[in-house]
Amino acid sequence: MALSYAEHPALQGDFEPSRFNASVFDCEVVGEIPAGLDGTFYRACAEWFYPPKFPDDSPFAADGMVTALRIADGCCDFTSRFIETPRYLANREARRQLFGYYRNPFTHEPEMQGKFNNLDTASNTNVIWFAGRLLALKEDALPMEMDPDTLETKGFFDFGGGYKAPTFTAHPKVDGRTGEMITYGYEAEGLASNAIWIYTVDADGTVTSERRIAAPYLSMVHDIAISQNYIMIPVYGMVSSMERLREGKVHWGWDTTVPSHIGVLPRNGDASDIRWFDGPQMAMVHTFAATDRDGVITLDAAVSDGNPFPFFPDVHGKPFDPAAARTTVRRYTIDMNSRDAGWREEPRFQDKPGALSRIDDRFMGHDFRYGLMSFSDEFQAFTGTGRRPTNSLGRFDFATGEVETMFAGPEFGLQEIAFAPRSPDAAEADGWVMALATNYETMKSELVIGDTADLAAGPVARVRLPFKAPQQIHGNWVPAWSRNT
């Protein structure tokens, strides 16, 4: 028997699911929303509509929701809606949970066996605006197109048939100058395959190239990085296999015995041009960005020494190690002129742990100076319950090593940072930062907004919601000016 919502250990507090679609017109605003903010903050969220079949399942299997915070003229309207994936619709039809462990179709209920081939996705990881479409992304399936205004689900999107892989990353990279997308699907030749198919898509949505590569072994390839001339593909000990899936386990396990790799593929090269660099165990789940000069690549990323996810157990039964899960900023240097197949790793900003790294997207694929990340400031007071949450937003200066930070207040836990440029051609990382926050005293959500001109002054505006909003995985600010082009 599945556990009820109230019995389920993973569905409490901040993770108590909201089972409703919502629409709040003209949200309460404390302070002043900057007059120049004009656009929509789209958030991809994961919420269990029915409790998971297995109490120890990964939160990554929860149903996808998209929320939109539309901001203009100092006002904000909120909308949230479940994504009507085949999985969500089948569950509603049956009025119960028909699906088993995260990315393991062998554990679905008998009536779902064999019916769902990459159609059991939750579409819950990211939501992007690209080529005039709003796309909800999950790395185990194709993008799900959503109506940008009503958030109605339109269906899977394969770029007019040009995109052939059955899977599509949640972290495609869009070149900030040309608008070209570099994207990929892994497990591209079926469940547990080590095939990665890499695509370029031009700014109007036309697929322009495909390269099929094989990873050294099958691992989670959640994110990549692009520089002016290269694509960097991290491969690390988050592993799977057909055997473990047939044994009825959650998709991923952590293997401490395998080395990690970074594949480097020239942006204009053939699949055979890929070079694999090797290094010690680490998990590079998210990157900030990368740049290259004279064949030397520098890649900034949020990295842990070991398994960052307690719900994906060690394949050899080792207990979860919280110290090895601590995720911090590191810089990787790879010299393409050298025959050496390794990299150099430098720790940076080690007292500011955080995992959801990003940059001012207008600089993606080019020289950049700033990282943007929500992080846990261990020196700030916290009045909530449980472990210290992410409580600050930071603008990390990779050139000087300085960080400007905004503390949200002792009662708040913050989700991922989003960045809104002050104008289309504003200086790098000049504008506004925002993040959804849970107030642990009221257990309701607020959107906190800060100005990069003075982050230390704290939020310039707080948009209060009359309930706890769904849990964000990733989100993006879509300026009104980009909707019109």
Binding site for ligand V55 (CB under 6 A): 46, 60, 124-125, 138-139, 222, 285, 473
CB of 305 to ligand V55, least distance (A): 17
Contact predicate 442/418, CB 8 Å: no
Query: Which is nearer to ligand V55, 438 or 452 (by Cβ)?
Result: 438
Instruction: Name the H helices within 318-452.
Output: 322-325
Residue 91 or 124 with smaller CB distance to ligand V55:
124
Which is closer to ligand V55, CB of 222 or CB of 261? 222
As a whole number of angstroms, the distance between CA 61 and CA 84 comes to 15
**Where are the extended beta strands (E) located within 361-411?**
370-375, 392-397, 403-407
> Under 8 Å CB-to-CB from 292, ≥6 apart: which residues?
227, 228, 229, 230, 298, 336
Instruction: Name every residue whose Cβ is closer than 8 Å to that of residue 39 and which is 6 or more positions away in sequence.
Output: 70, 71, 72, 420, 477, 478, 479, 480, 481, 482, 483
Q: Looking at beta carbons only, is 417 or 461 nearer to ligand V55?
A: 417
Q: 412-414 and 403-407 as β-strands: parallel, antiparallel, unpaired? A: unpaired
Rank residues 166 and 431 by Cβ distance to ligand V55 and give the closer one: 166
CB of 97 to ligand V55, least distance (A): 18
Distance CA 448, CA 289 (A): 25
Nearer CB in complex with ligand V55: 122/151? 122
Which DSSP string do the residues of 170-234 spell out, in sequence order?
S--EE-TTT--EEEEEESTTSTT--EEEEEEE-TTS-EEEEEEEE-SS-B-----EE-SSEEEEE
Residues in the chain: 485
Smallest distance from the beta carbon of 186 to ligand V55, in angstroms?
A: 11
Nearest distance from C-beta of residue 252 to ligand V55, angstroms: 8
91 vs 126, beta carbon nearer ligand V55: 126
Shortest spacing between CB 140 and ligand V55, in angstroms: 7
State the nearest-atom distance from the C-beta of 338 to ligand V55, in Å: 31
Q: Which is nearer to ligand V55, 186 or 368 (CB)?
A: 186
Q: Measured between alpha carbons, how far is 37 from 480 in angstroms, rounded to an integer?
A: 9
Closest residue to bound ligand V55 by CB = 60
Q: How far apart are CA 390 and CA 92, in angstroms?
A: 34
From the CB of 63, what's the least distance to ligand V55, in Å? Answer: 11
Alpha carbon distance 286, 139 (integer Å): 14
Helices (H), 53-114: 86-94
Say if CB 26 and CB 75 are below 8 A apart: yes
Q: CB of residue 264 vs ligand V55: minimum separation in angstroms?
A: 22
Instruction: Check: CB of residue 43 under 8 Å from CB of residue 58.
Output: no
Q: Give min distance, CB of 4 to ligand V55, in A.
A: 24
Question: What amino acid is encoded at 137 in this protein?
Answer: L
Smallest gap from Cβ 270 to ligand V55, in A, equals 29
CB 455 within 8 A of CB 107: no
Instruction: CB nearer to ligand V55: give 127 or 473.
Output: 473
In angstroms, the CA 291 to CA 274 distance is 17
Q: How far is the CB of 26 from ligand V55 (least distance, A)?
A: 31
Residue 312 vs 412, nearer CB to ligand V55: 312
Nearer to ligand V55, 116 or 464 (CB): 116
Query: In the bound complex, what is the minimum distance in angstroms from residue 392's beta carbon to ligand V55?
Result: 20
DSSP state letter for 18: P
Torsion region of 60: left, alpha or beta (phi above 0 gives left; psi -120 to 50 gives alpha): alpha
Cα-to-chain-centroid distance, residue 468: 20
Nearer to ligand V55 by Cβ, of 285 and 364: the residue is 285
